[in-house]
Structure 1
Amino acid sequence: MDSSTKFWMVEGAPTPVGPFSHATEQDGWVFLTGQMPTSPDDDSAPLPEGVAAQTTRVMDNLVLVLKGIGLGLEHVVSVRIFLTEFKRDYATMNAVYAACFPPGKLPARTCIGVTGLARDALVEIDFVARRPDSSAA
């Protein structure tokens, strides 16, 4: 098994808003950096309006990163979600988020209220995924 760390930058995924890789991988465990609701086509475009549209964009961005490294949502084992308006946006975000996964196949998850996010986003989400064949890269 290859134990070296891989640092993934995925072509077509959004431009990082800070100094980080889209994902890192060690022994088949893949840690995806939290994605913002930025456009992968135009980093300077305004963010979508409202938490539903932002959650959709964030999940789409995470799927772009997953696909770029040969994985999909079915490989996600853990999720962290950060919301700036927790009480107001929790239910709406949950509805959009839950629709992304098959019923009964939801990853473990933590959702945290925060005071602010980059780009004044309402939501940020990160993933931990696992390759089905951890010896493959």
Structure 2
Amino acid sequence: MSDLLFHMVQGAPRPVAPFNHAVEVDGWVMVTGQMPTDPNDPEAPLPAGVEAQTRRVMDNLKLVLGGLGLGLDRVVNARVYLTEFRRDYAAMNRVYESYFEPGRLPSRTCVGVTGLACDALVEIDLMVRRP
């Protein structure tokens, strides 16, 4: 096993807790769950509604991946957390799916939770494999 690489990506959203944007080992990259925060204005209010928040989360994930020279096409697994599962599941799925090529969706787990940091409606983390 190679050494762990701890990544903080310039231009990605400021962490809301003590963590790195990603940790890498042996070609595997674990991307910390991203919140729907504005990377250019961390104090800005969160977008309204799960669709806008899911777009922001996915865009933030793309920022982190881009800073590591990767894209969503390398995602192996995603975990999605929703605070209003029944209400928001279908809307979140529509936005989430639009970020991937048809027929190339990663494996995924989606769970309902009682709360998320920043009072967000959605958080998504990723497992990615380098080519």
Structure 1-normalised TM-score? 0.95
Aligned to 1:30: 29
Aligned to 2:13: 14
Could you tell me how far 1:17 is from its partner in structure 2?
Answer: 0.3
Q: Which runs of 5+ in 2 are unaligned?
A: none
User: Aligned equivalents of 2:2 and 2:74: distance in 1?
Assistant: 19
Aligned to 1:54: 53
Could you tell me how far 1:74 is from its partner in structure 2?
Answer: 0.6
Structural RMSD (CA): 0.7
Aligned to 1:135: none
User: Aligned equivalents of 1:8 and 1:74: distance in 2?
Assistant: 20
Alignment coverage as a number of residue pairs: 131
Q: Counterpart amino acid of 2:19?
A: F
Q: How does 1:1-137 map to 2 (within 5 A)?
A: 3-132=2-131
Structure 2-normalised TM-score? 0.99
Could you tell me how far 1:115 is from its partner in structure 2?
Answer: 0.1
Could you tell me how far 1:6 is from its partner in structure 2?
Answer: 0.3
Could you tell me how far 1:39 is from its partner in structure 2?
Answer: 0.3
User: Aligned equivalents of 1:16 and 1:101: distance in 2?
Assistant: 25
Kindly report structure 1 stretches of 4+ aligned residues shifted beyond 6 Å: none
User: Aligned equivalents of 1:42 and 1:22: distance in 2?
Assistant: 17
Cα offsets for 1:47-84 (capped at 9, x unmatched): 00000000000000000000000100011000000000
Query: Secondary structure at 2:125's aligned position in 1?
Result: strand
Percent of aligned pairs sharing the same letter: 67
User: Aligned equivalents of 2:97 and 2:68: distance in 1?
Assistant: 23
Q: Which runs of 5+ in 1 are unaligned?
A: 133-137
Could you tell me how far 1:97 is from its partner in structure 2?
Answer: 0.3
User: Aligned equivalents of 1:108 and 1:22: distance in 2?
Assistant: 21
